[in-house]
Chains A and B, each alone.
Chain A
Amino acid sequence: MSLDLTRETIGNALISVGIDIGTTTSHLVVTKLTFANASLVNAAPNLAITNREVIYESEVFLTPLTATGEIAAQETAALIEKAYQSIGLSKENIDTGALIITGQSARARNAEEVSAHLAKLAGGFVVESAGPHLESSLAARGSQAVEYSKRTGQTILNIDIGGGTSNYAVIAQGQIVDTACLNIGGRMLQFDWSQKTITAISSSAFAVIRVQEIYSQLKLGQEIQIDLVKQLAKYLAQSILAVASGEQNHHLMLTKPLTYTQSETSVAEIWLSGGVASIIGELDFTRFNDLGVFLAQALERQLADQKITYKVAPRAIRATVIGAGLHTLQLSGSTIGFASENLPLRNLKLIKFDATSKTALAEQIKLELRQREHHWPSAPVAIVLTGITSAILSFTFLKVLANEIAQIFIAEGGKEPLVLVSEADLAMALNMILKGVLTDKRIITVDGINVAEGDYIDIGKPVSSSADPNTQSLPIVVKTLLFYKSDK
């Protein structure tokens, strides 16, 4: 099968690729995003994503590992390249996307090396290793829990149980309000069913074995004792549910515990996604050479015993990668300011300014630059304007703001282009005012972007709807730390 991705066929759509390099398996999806003006007739235009279509899902393949358990960067890149070739995809066809390194592999020592190898394949698009928080959000988006919550107003707890980790996300009215990650997954133990032996024990499984002495007979190369493995699976399933109901001190937590239980939001539905969730109901332990089926069975049992109602998500498997391919992208407003030749821009550090703070803009920006250890003359940054409500948004306010921004930009010798991002609808006005102050500087201003969470930003080339090529928006990806550091 070969995808027809020529400009004539694609038209004004964007091609987005999501690549997930997981602890055990890896895969990729290709999605097509189309746009239309979502504004009222005659009102200022506003482009929105109107359709997301998954046009290709690759086979799931085992992630190549080196003898020491790291991801084999070159082999992995070769596999992705093969998948590209099988559908005639090249980096020139790809407009946006995300490469994420998930589960335990995100903490693999060579995540950076893997990213470097794949970046060449991925063209200019987003490359990042997902920390447990991002992975939880992506899974919740990919499983469709976010969309469902937005549509129904229900609060949903999505638990994505994969090979290495279980990722929790609480979604209230379509907003992800809490995330957490537990180091439990289907690949904690691996078996060789022909020899009936245990072939691999993950570090998290060792941790359980150490704490729960009864499992001390679980040893590498030993014969599989079904009863003991079932007992372990039961303990793990109980742990997964305990953390879901707010347990604070589980020794396998990779993040802070969930806090939603202390808030007033009560969860209306529990959704399960991920590889383990997708095999709930499977009876044959030996179907996979790992703990997966044991864990799925134990989980089903625990859910029944504790009388917890749940749903297996409509998109249970590959939820994370679909989430990465579809949802990391935001579309800016359509009244913005940019010049196409300055785009795309990648990996700009976000420097935050809070309009509600009493501290002056210059002071806030200087402090942020220092804290982020950024040398502005060497690389551009994106200044994020937060706290601007319709009550304070006036011409005078924007003029003062523009002057302050111009002053600090000149004083610090900031590198062009000067990039400003805001959620409030002000980008075209701010751009125009700034052009009057900084006449010979390149300035990019975008609005309609939520940057509450994030450290870096990518700004793509403009997109438009086929009905009105004059209405243009910029595709924007807000990213968290490129390489995850534990918050525990």
Chain B
Amino acid sequence: MQLRTEQLKSLTPARIGVSRSGTRPLTSTWLTFRADHALARDAVHSEISQTFLEEFASTRQFPQIKSTADSRRDFILYPPKGKRADQTTIAQLQGSCPSNIDVQIVVSDGLSALAVEENLLDLLPMLEYGFALSKISIGQIVIARYARVAIADQIAHALNGKIALNLIGERPGLSCASSLSAYITYNPGPQTVSSDRTVISNIHRNGTPATEAGAFIVKTIERILDKKVSGVKLQQLG
């Protein structure tokens, strides 16, 4: 019976076969739960680290912006603030970044800064390599803090990009706190709604590896550029 429980547990990251002592969970179960929960909470509250910003973003001269939220706490408590950057920020980007590009890439902390730090080092080079090979122009990559999905649509619209690609940290679960998603919008703008976006989720070491996800994002964007639609409309094409 022991063997069978182990076998079943090996098939899923879900919390099964955790056992109990009387009406309470076992101490080990409880501690694991607390540890995973703490990791998830930390991911939500954490900022993209200074080291990462300096080593990764500054050396490549990626512009770093903030949403209209003032702080991480403000962003968590008032989610709508994460959807937009203010006009000054947008104007600055318009002044410094190339426009009329195929794909505008925005890297957002979202609900897990950890996801950005763990996946970007493999994901971004793969995207750059793949887009260059397919002759798809990407302009300047923007790093956005306290940011939600829609911010990429606003930035891409301002820079007249055909496609907005937001690489954003997913809301952490209890089995993984470093999962990244790619949200892709064709013809992004103020009119964009959720169903306009194509999503590729679960990008992390035990999901779709970052490099493989990068190649898949390039292929998906090639198709979106060809069909000139994204989101549900793309799915409906079959």
* Chain B residues whose CB sits within 8 angstroms of the CB of A43 once the complex forms: 200-202, 207-208
Distance of A428 Cα from B219 Cα, bound (Å) = 9
Distance of A40 Cα from B201 Cα, bound (Å) = 9
Q: Is A470's CB within 8 Å of the partner chain B?
A: yes
Whether the Cβ atoms of B218 and A393 lie closer than 8 Å is: no
8 additional contacts (CB under 8 A) given A44-B212, A394-B211: A43-B201, A390-B205, A395-B210, A425-B209, A425-B212, A428-B219, A429-B215, A432-B126
Closest to A433 in B: B129
Distance of A260 Cα from B32 Cα, bound (Å) = 35
Interface string of B115-144 (1 = CB under 8 A from A): 000000110011001101100000000000
Distance of A335 Cα from B212 Cα, bound (Å) = 8
Q: Is B214's CB within 8 Å of the partner chain A?
A: yes
Whether the Cβ atoms of B216 and A335 lie closer than 8 Å is: yes
Q: How many A-B residue pairs have CB under 8 A?
A: 84
**Surface stretch bound by A, among B1-9, B43-51, B84-92:** B1-9
Whether the Cβ atoms of B209 and A426 lie closer than 8 Å is: yes
Distance of A424 Cα from B209 Cα, bound (Å) = 9
Task: Decide if the interface of chain B is mainly helix, strand, loop or mixed.
Answer: helix
Q: Is B22's CB within 8 Å of the partner chain A?
A: no
Query: Which A residues from 10 to 43 make CB contacts under 8 A with B?
Result: 40, 42-43
Whether the Cβ atoms of A432 and B122 lie closer than 8 Å is: no
Instruction: Pick the residue among B201, B210, B215, B223 that contacts A432 (CB under 8 A).
Output: B215
Distance of A394 Cα from B213 Cα, bound (Å) = 12
Task: Decide if the interface of chain A is mainly helix, strand, loop or mixed.
Answer: loop
Q: Is B57's CB within 8 Å of the partner chain A?
A: no
Interface size for chain A: under 10, 10 to 19, 20 to 34, or 35 or more residues? 20 to 34
Q: Is A435's CB within 8 Å of the partner chain B?
A: yes
A174 CB, nearest partner CB in chain B, Å: 9
Closest to A466 in B: B238
Distance of A43 Cα from B170 Cα, bound (Å) = 12
* Chain A residues whose CB sits within 8 angstroms of the CB of B132 once the complex forms: 436
* Chain B residues whose CB sits within 8 angstroms of the CB of A435 once the complex forms: 133
Q: Is A398's CB within 8 Å of the partner chain B?
A: yes
Contacts A390-B206, A394-B122, A395-B126 given; indicate if A42 touches B212 (C-beta within 8 A): no
Interface string of A392-417 (1 = CB under 8 A from B): 01111010000000000000000000
* Chain A residues whose CB sits within 8 angstroms of the CB of B215 once the complex forms: 335, 428-429, 431-432
